[in-house]
Amino acid sequence: MVNLVMNNLLFFVPAAIAGVVLCGEVPVASKFARGSLRAVGAVCGALLALIILEAIPALL
């Protein structure tokens, strides 16, 4: 079960913003594709943050 603490949730925002920036810079022609890439980047960034937050206590 995922144990989320409010202080850990502060890590999600920068990770999601990093995902938006990284995936939003992919050169595409349409605005819809750019928006969907940004959404995918935000989700991937948040999932990566969740994986990192859950893996750190297991490694310690």
Query: Any idea where the domains of the chain sit in the sequence?
Result: 1-59
Average pLDDT on 11-15 reads 84
pLDDT band at 10 (very low <50, low <70, confident <90, very high): confident
More confident call, 56 vs 44:
44
Residues 18-43: what's their mean pLDDT?
90
At 11 the three-state DSSP class reads coil
For the chain, give percent helix, strand, coil, nearest 5.
75, 0, 25
Residue with tokens 């990566």: 48
**The model scores a pTM over 0.85:** no
Amino acid at 19: G
